A and B are shown apart, each in its own frame.
Chain A
Amino acid sequence: MTDVAIAAPVAGRSFWGDAWARLKSNKAAMISLFYLALMAIVCVVGPYFVPHTYTTIYADYVRTAPSFSAYPKADMIESALRDAVKRMRVDVDEWHQDGDRVFVTVEASKPVDERSARYLDRSDTFHDTRIENKSDDGRKLTMSAAVKQQYFLFGTDNTGRDLLSRTLMAGRVSLAIGLLAGIVAVAIGVIYGATAGFIGGKTDEVMMRIVDVLYSLPFIFFVIMLVVFFGRNFVLMFLAVGAVLWLDMARIVRGQALSIRRQEYVQAAEALGVTRGGILVRHIVPNLLGVVVIYMTLLVPQVIILESFLSFLGLGVQEPMTSWGVLISTGAKNIGTANWLLLFPAFFLVSTLFALNFVGDGLRDALDPKDR
């Protein structure tokens, strides 16, 4: 064989390259992708930047409305002060505010223990309490305390926990479950469906019959059974969620595998003598990936909604952990009195679902372009 001067090959536009180019030109999808990334970052990293933790209870700030300005508001100082002093079992003589410090003089029938100044510190509203003055008989005490500025951008809930940090933590949970359960559902569905579609014949019939029967079981039944079985275990819950939703994926993948098997390029490979394994790896799987990606993007929002639904019913994530479904559930019970409890988590959930939807649509158009 004579040596031929081989020209360097020109790179081609692969299927995935084409798809990425198409996706990039879809503005809604790219914005949504960016939004999702942002949401993920905010939920994962955000809690470290919020001065509250999601479990800290602020007794003074139960059901406070969201505000850009700091708490306590001017009209809250007095009642907080009186509450604290009441616990000291003394009477308030007089009080006044000087800048960001509050001065209060208390009086009692017996000498006042200086350590009772701690009550002021324990209050969420004050800190850095100092004894200013003490009367000679010890029955009068003047204390001063700094007013602790807190921000509750999303307000607080019924037990006095900051809603912002809870919403972000809930986001971690919901997104994590969405992703992980989605992967579980995809993994099971793809393996099951591809096997059935590829092997075909009796095996395929039996496998799909099983799917049909499972399908006709009421979906809710399934879900609740799994939760009842696995109890309120976070890890197992997303397994349960994934295990319910794999059915659709299995059907889709099987259908696609069947149709790919009938394609002429698979027949051509058979005519070349390629082994079954070779056909699976080189022809079936690469052509399946497109469909799998498309349906995974439909699956993830389904998972998130399902998890939220379960949490809403009280069957999902348990205290003190929280998810958007739990927050919305509480919020739904408090509309009219504390709207923010519903609106903030609902907004986070719905906007995330929207973004997932647009990305899903965009991926579908990119991977399987048809005139919309």
Chain B
Amino acid sequence: MTTTNPILSVKNLSVRFRTLDGEVDAVKGINLHVNAGETVAIVGESGSGKSQTMMAAMRLLASNGVAGGEVDYRGKNLLTLDKAALNGVRGARISMIFQEPMTSLDPLYTIGNQLIEPIRRHRKLGKAAAHKEALRLLELVKIPDPERRMRSYPYEMSGGQRQRVMIAMALANDPDILIADEPTTALDVTVQAQILTLLAELQRRLGMAIVFITHDLNIVRRFSDRVYVMRSGQIVEEGETERVFAAPQHDYTKMLLAAEPTGRKAPPPASAPMLLEGRNVEVAFRIGGGFLSGPPLTLRAVDRISLSLKRGQTIGIVGESGSGKSTLGRALLRLLPSEGAIRFDHRDISGANAQAMRPLRRELQLVFQDPFGSLSPRMTIGQVITEGLLVHEPSLSAKDRDARAVAALQRVGLDPAMRNRYPHEFSGGQRQRIAIARAMILRPKVVVLDEPTSALDRSVQKQIVELLRDLQAEHELSYLFISHDLAVVRAMADYIIVMRQGQIVEQGPTEEIFDRPREDYTRALMSAAIDDKKFRLAAV
């Protein structure tokens, strides 16, 4: 099926942005090509320029961006094509779908309206014919009840469904190439698997080439024929997927492949004392209601969950968005009001108010998901880290606090000379280390980690995982590790709780859950995330 005649040829492409801080070169002269019918992956971490490459090819760069070089599509240079001809190519011969399904559709028009638009624009069909076409496309992407959906608005559909609609719109005119820019990154794991299967199937039926941009090596391995590895605007390695994964040449590729979380966590000894316990914890929110609006809705974010955390243990709480795992973590720390019994270190803290909790806070710490939002932007990181000391060790002098800050920064691998800098001057991974330092400086017993690595690149994730492991071993910490990233959880936790819509679906030691899942949902989760089976159906 793959010919060696490329339909898309990118030659010496460069992309430059004019920003407030000067000129930034996002892409520095790269070459790549796409053959008819094949799947090519462009993989890289954030800032590698992988998205900008294809945005430039489609002339969709932001207004402060300038592209140089050549993008050759069937003999025509897309970068110099006049607007009319370009619009004849976009949406008809080359289509693109994006990462954010929640915002990529126009919220003010119906699905049908938006689907019909590119059909009529490129194919000059009448209204009725276009409507039929639209229905056919919705069926093609497996949207149930398509006739009704034609009249729906985007806000009435889930992220996965919206992405299917996007795919339908992109394929409406049977293009040669579909560019998919991180199309599944913002979706839940099970939905990701569905979308990827759909894409593979559509490719088999329609025969278009796919350019798949992603940071997720698993997807690359299962989905693509060839791969380009990008870093800092340049292509560092390219070749057939099998070959690159089996025998990577460039150091960076090797590092990327090695960044998959490894290792396992041994369970704590049976004699370890119980530290944190929750019995039938329930968190409910009331929404709506009021004068003439009817009774309020009760949303049970956490629906009678029980768990117990021993010293030295790491419990991994996994689930997709809306499962209630974050809410559970905060409820256990008494940061949210909840029903049910919570005990810490044999003390009943279920009804404890802020006053009563204060002295306990140093032993129960929390690390957030978003390294950008969890550090106060107006404080130096030295102040951020030592704020806890102001509360729990008020007798310390400023000099002592400073010394503690230095020690804490060194412990997490940051240069203490930076302690008078502000959060925005650090990278995501560094900020997460600062957040960890802030928690550790108080020498807690239990740390709840709420998606601590989800916003970070894989390579940085690995460092944070290792840091957390070291700290746990050194101080006999207990972790509650909340995440949707099964690979990381498997490496970090000895006990797993699977949650869905506020309830526990399944729980047990890590290996059991991963190797011998009992419930259907757990199985679906595992196969979506970990399975090695290639997405493509029978190879042609």
Chain A directly contacts chain B within the complex, with at least one CB pair under 8 Å: yes
Contact for A9 among B362, B410, B417, B425, CB less than 8 A:
B417
Q: Which residue of A lies closest to B377 (CB)?
A: A15
Contact B421 A10 (CB under 8 A): yes
- The answer to whether residues A272 and B387 also contact, given A6-B406, A263-B373, A286-B378 and a CB cut-off of 8 A, is yes
Mask of A268-290 contacts with B, CB within 8 angstroms, 1/0:
11111111101000110011000
Q: Inside 8 A of B358's CB, which chain A residues have their CB? A: 273, 275
For this complex, 9 residue pairs linking A to B, each with C-beta atoms less than 8 Å apart, are A6-B406, A7-B416, A12-B418, A13-B425, A265-B377, A273-B358, A286-B378, A287-B376, A371-B64
5 nearest A-B residue pairs (beta carbon): A273-B361, A12-B421, A286-B378, A264-B373, A9-B420
Q: For residue B362, which residues in chain A have a CB less than 8 angstroms away from its CB? A: 272-273
A271 touches B361 (CB 8 A): yes
Determine whether B370 belongs to the interface, using a CB cutoff of 8 Å to chain A: yes
A14 interface residue (CB < 8 Å to B): yes
Q: Within the complex, what minimum Cβ distance (angstroms) separates B442 from chain A?
A: 8
Contact with A along B418-462 (1 / 0, CB 8 A): 111110010000000001001000100000000000000000000
Q: Do the beta carbons of A4 and B335 come within 8 Å of each other? A: no
- Interface pair A287/B388, CB less than 8 Å apart: no
- A286 to chain B: closest CB distance in Å? 4
Contacts of B379 in A (CB 8 A): 282, 286
The complex places the Cα of A10 from the Cα of B378 at a distance, in Å, of 16
| Contact A9 B403, beta carbon cutoff 8 Å | no
Q: Are B366 and A10 in contact (CB under 8 A)?
A: no
Q: In the complex, are the beta carbons of A278 and B390 less than 8 A apart? A: yes
Counting CB contacts under 8 A, is A217 at the interface?
A: no
Residue A267 at the chain B interface, CB threshold 8 Å: yes
Count of chain A residues with a beta carbon within 8 Å of a chain B beta carbon? 34
Which of A8, A266, A274, A369 has most chain B Cβ within 10 Å? A274
User: Are A267 and B368 in contact, CB atoms less than 8 angstroms apart?
Assistant: yes
Is A11 positioned at the interface, with any CB of B under 8 Å from its CB? yes
The 0/1 profile, CB within 8 Å of B marked 1, for residues 1-42 of chain A is 100101111111111000000100000000000000000000
Cβ A10 vs Cβ B387 within 8 A:
no
B25: interface (CB < 8 Å): no
CA distance A30 to B149 in the complex (A): 55
Hey, what's the 0/1 contact readout for B375-398 against A, CB within 8 Å counting as 1? 111111010000110111000000
- Counting contact residues on chain B (CB < 8 A from A), the size range is 35 or more
In the complex, the answer to whether B376 meets A265 with C-beta atoms within 8 Å is: yes
Which residue on A lies nearest to B402, using beta carbons?
Answer: A6
Distance to closest chain A CB from B436 (angstroms): 12
The yes or no answer to B538 lying at the interface (CB within 8 A) is no
Query: In the complex the two chains form, is A12's CB within 8 Å of B390's CB?
Result: no
Query: Cβ of B378 and Cβ of A13 under 8 Å apart?
Result: no
CB pair B403 A271 closer than 8 Å = no
Asked if B275 is an interface residue, CB under 8 A from chain A, the answer is no
B161 in the interface (beta carbon within 8 A): no
Q: Closest approach, in angstroms, between the C-beta of B388 and any C-beta of chain A?
A: 4
Inter-subunit contact B422/A14 (CB<8 Å): yes
Give min CB distance, A211 to chain B, whole Å. Answer: 20
Do the beta carbons of A273 and B391 come within 8 Å of each other? Answer: yes
- A201 to B364 CA separation, bound complex (whole angstroms): 27
> How many angstroms between the C-alpha atoms of A66 and B114 in the bound complex?
66
Within 8 Å of chain A (Cβ to Cβ): is B365? Answer: yes
Please report the C-alpha to C-alpha distance between residue A283 and residue B387 in the assembled complex, in whole angstroms: 11
B227 → A minimal CB distance (Å)? 34
Nearest CB in chain B: distance from A38 CB, A? 29
> Who on chain B is nearest to A17 by CB?
B422
Say yes or no: B420 contacts A10, CB within 8 Å. Answer: yes
Inter-chain contact B392/A265, CB cutoff 8 Å: no
User: Is A272 in contact with B421, judged by CB distance below 8 angstroms?
Assistant: no
Q: How far is the CA of A7 from the CA of B373 in the complex (A)?
A: 28
Quick one: which of B309-361 are within 8 Å of A by CB? 333, 335, 354, 357-359, 361
